[in-house]
């Protein structure tokens, strides 16, 4: 698939099935995630946690308990991005680069995906943090939810970002 086709195919799909993803597709997505650029090349500052099966269900239950809804939209895999850098800007930028790589890789495989900041709303949740084996010096930056699409529906939004061209 052409790169531009993948970019246009990547949309946040919030109707996700809980059918497990193919192992080879998950492995591919994680491999692409690891190729994201990070500030100063400090890959050791970031850690990804892949949640599936019972662990994912426990987390989804905690979302409902604490936020009132499953912010991962169902799905069968949730990749958390944790970071222990010294600068909040670098933490978030690294997380963004990694999350976007995950979303694009998922889109290429026709797997529904949503970049989630909302998971930071449960950052103090002990059940979730224990499952993530979160260390004292780590912060939850974001997550990406993944699942086969239960519907093709996506939000009707414009992707126009203003561009000033200066010569
Ligand atoms: C930094 C960031 C945080 C986001 N957090 C959430 C979120 O918590 N929940 C959600 O449903 N979508 C979230 N999104 C998805 C955006 O709403 C979505 O990417 C945007 O509206 C563009 O739509 P598209 O992904 O379909 O192209 C997030 C996206 C980004 C880049």
Predicted pLDDT at 162: 97
Distance CA 73, CA 149 (A): 11
Predicted pLDDT at 1: 84
Class of the 3-147 domain? Answer: alpha beta
Distance CA 112, CA 11 (A): 8
Does 163 sit in the ligand 1 pocket, CB within 6 Å?
no
**How many whole angstroms from 167 Cα to the centroid of ligand 1?**
33
Indicate which residue's Cα is closest to atom 10 of ligand 1: 116
Q: In what order do the strands lie in the sheet with 139-147?
A: 46-51, 77-83, 139-147, 112-116
**Phi-psi category of residue 30: left, alpha or beta, with phi > 0 → left and psi -120 to 50 → alpha:** alpha
Q: Which atom of ligand 1 is nearest to the CA of 99?
A: 31
| Bridge partners, 151 (sequence order) | none
Domain ranges across the chain:
3-147
**How many whole angstroms from 73 Cα to the centroid of ligand 1?**
12
Predicted pLDDT at 164: 98
Sign of CA dihedral 146, 149, 151, 153: positive
Does 63 sit in the ligand 1 pocket, CB within 6 Å?
no
Predicted pLDDT at 86: 79
Residue 118, phi then psi, degrees to nearest 5: -55, -20
Mutation pick for ligand 1 pocket among 6, 11, 12 (CB with most ligand atoms within 8 Å): 12
Predicted pLDDT at 117: 98
In order along its 167 residues, the chain shows pLDDT tens digits of 899 999 999 999 999 999 999 999 999 999 999 999 999 999 999 999 999 999 999 999 999 999 999 999 999 999 999 999 878 899 999 999 999 999 999 999 999 999 999 999 999 999 999 999 999 999 999 999 999 999 999 999 999 999 999 99
Three-state secondary structure of 19-58: CCCCHHHHHHHHHHHHCCCCHHHCHHHEEEEEECHHHHHH
């Amino acid at each position: 698939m052409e790169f531009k086709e993948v970019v246009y195919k990547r949309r946040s799909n919030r109707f996700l099935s809980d059918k497990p993803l193919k192992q080879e597709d998950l492995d591919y997505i994680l491999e692409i995630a690891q190729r994201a650029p990070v500030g100063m090349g400090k890959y050791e500052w970031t850690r990804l946690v892949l949640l599936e099966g019972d662990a994912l269900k426990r987390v989804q239950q905690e979302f409902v308990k604490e936020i009132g809804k499953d912010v991962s939209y169902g799905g069968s895999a949730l990749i958390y991005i944790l970071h222990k850098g010294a600068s909040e800007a670098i933490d978030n930028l690294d997380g963004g680069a990694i999350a976007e790589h995950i979303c694009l890789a998922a889109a290429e495989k026709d797997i529904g995906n949503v970049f989630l900041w909302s998971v930071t709303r449960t950052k103090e949740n002990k059940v979730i943090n224990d499952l993530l084996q979160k260390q004292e010096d780590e912060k939850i930056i974001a997550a990406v939810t993944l699942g086969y699409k239960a519907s093709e529906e996506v939000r009707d939004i414009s992707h126009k970002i203003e561009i000033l061209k200066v010569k």
